[in-house]
Amino acid sequence: MRCPCGCGDTIELLLVAEAKPRWDITIDRQYRPSIVPSVWRSSGCKAHFWISKGRVHWCS
């Protein structure tokens, strides 16, 4: 997925069960993704956000 802040970076979410940190992605009936917990990039733009029902929420 692309970083939602617009910096153009690609974020790879590690969904492998053994990987840490990892995130859980759920898709609701309207195919809107939610990601928990929040994503906090430790490099690049340091964006901190979470996605709920397809919408990006910023933590700041």
Alpha helices, DSSP H only, in 1-60? none
CA–CA separation, 19 and 6 (whole Å): 26
Q: How far is the CB of 56 from Zn ion (least distance, A)?
A: 11
Residue with smaller CB distance to Zn ion, 2 or 27 = 2
The sheet that has 48-52: what strands, in order across it? 24-27, 33-40, 48-52, 55-58
Per-position x/- string for 12-51, each x denoting binding to Zn ion as judged by CB under 5 A, each - no binding:
---------------------------------x-x----
Which positions lie near Zn ion, rule CB under 5 A? 3, 5, 7, 45, 47
